[in-house]
Chain A
Amino acid sequence: MFTQPPVLKSLSAALLVAVGGLAANHSMAEDFYEGKTIQMVVPFGEGGATYVAAKFLEPFLEKHLPGNPRVDVQTRPGGGSILGANWFAQNAEPDGETILFTTSSTSNPYVLGMDAVEYDLAAMRPAYSLPFGAVIYVSPRTGIDSPAGLKEPDMPLIYGGIAAAASDLPTLLAFELLDLDIQTVLGFDGRGPARLAFERGETNIDFQFTPAYMSQVVDMVQAGSAVPIMTGGSVGEDGVLSARDTAFPDYPSVHEVYEELYGEAPSGVEWDAFQSIGAVTFNYGLTAYLPEGTPDEILEIFEQTIAAINDDPEYQERSVDAVGGYSLLPASEVTESLSEALQPSDEVREHLRTLLSEEYDVEL
């Protein structure tokens, strides 16, 4: 992987902004996308959560991007999103007309350094992110009614997941960090079937991402058949994954739960691993990447567009049901922290690889 040293990168970025600021006048940005079509590549199948979110954002981007381009959502599934991301890395031009819209399914293999990965995600330029929070909840039969109860459940805890290296990774890392005794059953088809197993009483601890939580689990909580415990949290002002999830201000974050259980803030390689993977999965859950070398001018266009979408009352209204009511994060709030999460220290990377291969038998 060839990434520029960060100093050089920000220096050249600053230079570009300066030059661009002098050269570009306002009208150039105003009609930048006029008559153009943006190809939004989703590396998953039609109808999946990422596709639905992309289609949800499509009309808002068309409305607020200067020149009102057509946004064309295209699916390129395969290899657990790796094929689509590889295609993007090899084919997309840095002209702002091709965007990769994807999740931690693309970034986890990158962070873990898997062989099939042919894309350099950290070198790409994030245009915006949509947080994708998650709530961890338990069955009332476990007798757990607060985070502290996780340590002494009435019955052994069973968790149902898909695969250790997939979207289950941050949850498993959280269990690891909190040192919980949980039996992990992997091999479910998706979070939906895992939730069905929870409803049938086959498992008793589960997590769901915000949209599914809102439409499925909230009712279960009201009916008394599920007890919410904590969320993955969100990245706070200090760049740490410690703040509460904005969609669930009543539930503590993993960070808070650790503090409650152990009386101190989490630190060390286990925390760094959770923070790195958790931030990409939750806070930057759905991220739009522009190809490496995309000029700052285009990123500036997106910066303004995202602000406009967040202010759009229609977005505010419709996003509550569709995506959990999160505001979009513009590049300025994403780039630095995401780049750090995508390039963890060698120690963290080694920890993740060892954990996956030894505890979960993952072949890397």
Chain B
Amino acid sequence: MLENIATALAILFEPMRLLALFAGMLAGMVFGMLPGLGGVAAVSILLPFIYLMDSYSGLAMLLGAISVIYTADTITSVLLGAPGSPASAPTAIEGHALAKQGKASLALGVGFLASMVGGLFGALILSVAIPIAGPLVLALGTPELFMFALVGLCFAASMVGKDIVVGLAAACFGILLGVVGAAPAAANYRFIFGQSYLMDGLSLPIVALGLFAVAELIGMVASGGGIAGKPMTMGKWGESFREFWRSRWLIVRASIIGIFGGFVPAVGASASTWIAYGHAMSSTKDKRRFGKGEIRGVAGAEGANNATVISDLVPTMLFSVPGGPAAAIFLGALFSFGFYPGPRMVSETPDLMYMIVWSVALASVMGAILCFAVTPYLARLTRINFALIAAPLLLIMVAGAYQGTQTFGDILALLVLGVIGWLMKNAGWPRAPVLVGFVLATPMEQYFWLTTQIHGFTWLTRPGVLIIASLIVVPMLLGLVRKWRARQAATPTDSAGPASHTASDDEAPRDTAILLLASSLLLVTFAYAFYEMLGFRSNARLMPALGIVPGLLLSLFILGRQLFRLRRQGRIVHLGSRQELPVLAGILAYGVAMWLIGFNLATPLLLAWLLLKCAGMRLVSAALYGAIVYATALGMFALMRLTPPPGSWLTLPMPW
């Protein structure tokens, strides 16, 4: 075995292969940093290129990309507050809040190091795939997979924030988004409005981009300044190393959670990240800073998500069942090179297996080092007027969304979700629960029906189910006990507790009009969904009902409360939100223009508006910068081998 480990290292240390690994890492870093474009985008863009190389180089290139995505996306999440990939939403919440307090380098440093540890744990579990990981994967039956998804949702529920009603309503809305498309247990299509686009359901990158990135982008363009209120100071990494060392056991536990996330097909990184985040919260005594910049939240989430993408490779290599979307593409690459994954492949070609382990380990470490190196330069970007960065960012988001199905439905979904995200942001409603509900609705429903069909009700007594269930029950009981003790010990001083809510943004009064609009829309949506749901077959109705029925009641309560407050407090006008309206309108107009005259003609108009009007550039420099951005965007489409969205009315054919 030791011999194989050494041979594998020698295989990888061919100059060509190291170069391929490095190229993959660079691509992975870029795509990790671009908001919303996660591992799937990076790997599918690299895929055509690997056929030009020998098998080990090609695989090394993909592994390089897979291993650094969740390290690099920390940068976007922390600096922009828009998750670099869906599984880094907790980092976007905690890390960005820290960045706003001038602690960006702390959040980034801990994030990079935790990602690195997660990656190394992933590599470790891969190297013991046959003796340890394989039996573990087979031990997880359908009931255990269901329980894993359920635990994810329960942990997520613990971070709905201060206003529990709104948080739960948001999670219900997420479930509603998640059940769009084909029902797993009955051949029923739900909420597709006759559109074949919706038959597969909404795609996770588009939901994450729309809810988070579009809204952040609008806010930043409207506020006119840089991303950071004050210049971010970078380069003092010492504190982050100390904090990393303080949280080392949390990171180890988060990585182990992440590894299990990789064993569970479909639940994957998005769920394990939230479970690890929830674990970070339940294992931290002072929970007040969660949601307002808690470094342990970053440490937990980043440790988990990187471990998950790597351990996604375990079921891929052992059973040729990909653990996640990026692993699915990696599986296709293995097939194409004539490797047929299975226990036989792992035991008969140990060189390949250890080459993969080495690639992952090396890329994890080098990726973290690279991230440390480039961050000071990227941080400078945050002082530039955001309208300048918004232009390329918006085009990248459009390209990323359009990669989904290459139909206008992708753009439309992005914009609609963008408006929803904007409304929620300006109403002060948490968006993370929407994402969690969305991600976990499908696997929960699927595994629930499979479980009850296969096992009847005997599954409730399975040891695995009981062990996982204790993960929910034990912290809940401990929390209750702790609360009870605290109440007994400190009844008089409790009310005088430190109410130092630093993040003033969350507490600011919200615009009444937006709150009313958002609550009414929510109510109408749930009411319509309820009506539509009555027509579903019973097997297709349970999961939507779990989201829609409470959602309907909660949204009714929210609207009522809103009207009551309106009578008591009168109208509140929040100028910040109103200032963002023209930007929102501009972006929607861009969508309409794209539909009418296509990407190629609509984009120059958008650039002119963003650069001249919003950023106030001079004509000459705007033309020059605009041309560069335009060319880059078209280059991006060419790289992804996509034709930019054509117009329905008129299309500018490109001369090349």
B406 touches A (CB below 8 Å): yes
Evaluate contact between B450 and A361: CB separation under 8 angstroms. Answer: no
Write the chain A residue with the least CB distance to B642. Answer: A74
B621 touches A (CB below 8 Å): no
Write the chain A residue with the least CB distance to B198. Answer: A79
Complex contacts, B333 vs chain A, CB 8 Å? 47
A interface footprint on B186-219 (CB within 8 Å = 1, 0 otherwise): 1111000010110110000000000000000000
Q: Which of B124-132, B336-344, B488-496 contacts A (4 or more CB under 8 A)?
A: B336-344
Find B320's partner among A187, A197, A215, A321 (CB 8 Å cutoff): A215
Question: Please, how many angstroms separate the alpha-carbon atoms of A286 and B182 in the complex?
Answer: 24
B485 touches A (CB below 8 Å): no
Evaluate contact between B329 and A219: CB separation under 8 angstroms. Answer: no
Task: Given the known inter-chain contacts A187-B446, A196-B138, A202-B141, please indicate yes or no for A47 contacting B454, CB distance below 8 A.
Answer: no
Evaluate contact between A163 and B332: CB separation under 8 angstroms. Answer: no
A219 to B: closest C-beta gap in Å: 6
A214 touches B (CB below 8 Å): yes
A185 touches B (CB below 8 Å): yes
Max count, chain B CB within 10 A of own CB: residue among A115, A164, A186, A211: A186
Find B188's partner among A47, A202, A361 (CB 8 Å cutoff): A361
Complex contacts, A130 vs chain B, CB 8 Å? none
A200 touches B (CB below 8 Å): yes
Evaluate contact between A83 and B332: CB separation under 8 angstroms. Answer: no
B407 touches A (CB below 8 Å): yes
Interface of chain B, main secondary structure = helix
Max count, chain B CB within 10 A of own CB: residue among A164, A321, A363: A363
Evaluate contact between A200 and B450: CB separation under 8 angstroms. Answer: no
Complex contacts, A55 vs chain B, CB 8 Å? 51, 332, 336
B interface footprint on A185-214 (CB within 8 Å = 1, 0 otherwise): 111111011011101101100000001101
Complex contacts, A115 vs chain B, CB 8 Å? 194
Complex contacts, B233 vs chain A, CB 8 Å? none
Complex contacts, B454 vs chain A, CB 8 Å? 158, 160, 185, 197, 202-203
Evaluate contact between B328 and A47: CB separation under 8 angstroms. Answer: yes
Question: Please, how many angstroms separate the alpha-carbon atoms of A3 and B249 in the complex?
Answer: 68
A196 to B: closest C-beta gap in Å: 6
B304 touches A (CB below 8 Å): no
Question: Please, how many angstroms separate the alpha-carbon atoms of A212 and B340 in the complex?
Answer: 8
Task: Given the known inter-chain contacts A83-B196, A187-B446, please indicate yes or no for A52 contacting B141, CB distance below 8 A.
Answer: no
Question: Please, how many angstroms separate the alpha-carbon atoms of A357 and B367 in the complex?
Answer: 52
Question: Please, how many angstroms separate the alpha-carbon atoms of A352 and B47 in the complex?
Answer: 39
Complex contacts, A83 vs chain B, CB 8 Å? 196-197, 405, 407
B319 touches A (CB below 8 Å): yes
Write the chain A residue with the least CB distance to B331. Answer: A47
Evaluate contact between A48 and B332: CB separation under 8 angstroms. Answer: yes
Question: Please, how many angstroms separate the alpha-carbon atoms of A199 and B321 in the complex?
Answer: 12
B537 touches A (CB below 8 Å): yes
B13 to A: closest C-beta gap in Å: 27
Question: Please, how many angstroms separate the alpha-carbon atoms of A74 and B641 in the complex?
Answer: 8
B interface footprint on A74-98 (CB within 8 Å = 1, 0 otherwise): 1111111011001100000000000
Question: Please, how many angstroms separate the alpha-carbon atoms of A199 and B142 in the complex?
Answer: 12
Interface residues of B in 335-376 (CB under 8 A from A): 335-336, 338, 340-345
Find B336's partner among A56, A72, A79, A202 (CB 8 Å cutoff): A56
Interface residues of A in 324-362 (CB under 8 A from B): 356, 360-362
Evaluate contact between A79 and B196: CB separation under 8 angstroms. Answer: yes
Question: Please, how many angstroms separate the alpha-carbon atoms of A361 and B407 in the complex?
Answer: 30
Total interface residues on B, CB under 8 Å, equals: 56
Interface residues of A in 13-49 (CB under 8 A from B): 45-48
Evaluate contact between B187 and A164: CB separation under 8 angstroms. Answer: yes
Complex contacts, A192 vs chain B, CB 8 Å? 319-322
Write the chain A residue with the least CB distance to B406. Answer: A76
A318 touches B (CB below 8 Å): yes
Find B266's partner among A189, A196, A363 (CB 8 Å cutoff): A189
Complex contacts, B406 vs chain A, CB 8 Å? 76, 87
Evaluate contact between A318 and B319: CB separation under 8 angstroms. Answer: no
Evaluate contact between B342 and A187: CB separation under 8 angstroms. Answer: no
Evaluate contact between A52 and B340: CB separation under 8 angstroms. Answer: no
Write the chain A residue with the least CB distance to B537. Answer: A361
Complex contacts, B345 vs chain A, CB 8 Å? 215
A116 touches B (CB below 8 Å): yes
A interface footprint on B315-332 (CB within 8 Å = 1, 0 otherwise): 100011110000011111
B586 touches A (CB below 8 Å): no
Interface residues of B in 437-489 (CB under 8 A from A): 446, 449-450, 453-455
Evaluate contact between A197 and B340: CB separation under 8 angstroms. Answer: no
Question: Please, how many angstroms separate the alpha-carbon atoms of A158 and B320 in the complex?
Answer: 22
Task: Given the known inter-chain contacts A83-B405, A158-B454, please indicate yes or no for A197 contacting B142, CB distance below 8 A.
Answer: yes
Max count, chain B CB within 10 A of own CB: residue among A197, A203, A215: A215
B265 touches A (CB below 8 Å): yes
Find A360's partner among B44, B141, B187, B331 (CB 8 Å cutoff): B187
Complex contacts, B329 vs chain A, CB 8 Å? 45-47
Task: Given the known inter-chain contacts A215-B342, A363-B187, please indicate yes or no for A46 contacting B44, CB distance below 8 A.
Answer: yes
Complex contacts, A160 vs chain B, CB 8 Å? 450, 454
Question: Please, how many angstroms separate the alpha-carbon atoms of A105 and B246 in the complex?
Answer: 53
Complex contacts, A163 vs chain B, CB 8 Å? 182, 187
Write the chain B residue with the least CB distance to A222. Answer: B344
Write the chain B residue with the least CB distance to A192. Answer: B321
B404 touches A (CB below 8 Å): yes
Complex contacts, B328 vs chain A, CB 8 Å? 45, 47-48
B445 to A: closest C-beta gap in Å: 8
A267 touches B (CB below 8 Å): no
Complex contacts, B648 vs chain A, CB 8 Å? none
Q: Could you list some 15 contacts between A and B, CB below 8 A?
A: A46-B47, A47-B47, A47-B331, A48-B328, A52-B335, A77-B200, A77-B405, A78-B197, A86-B196, A160-B450, A187-B449, A189-B265, A215-B340, A321-B340, A363-B537
Knowing that A185-B454, A193-B321, A202-B142 touch, tell me 19 more A-B residue pairs with CB under 8 angstroms. A47-B330, A51-B332, A74-B641, A78-B197, A83-B407, A87-B407, A165-B187, A183-B453, A187-B446, A189-B266, A190-B321, A192-B319, A196-B137, A200-B141, A215-B320, A215-B340, A322-B335, A361-B188, A361-B537
The 5 closest A-B pairs by CB, nearest first: A47-B332, A215-B340, A78-B405, A192-B321, A362-B187
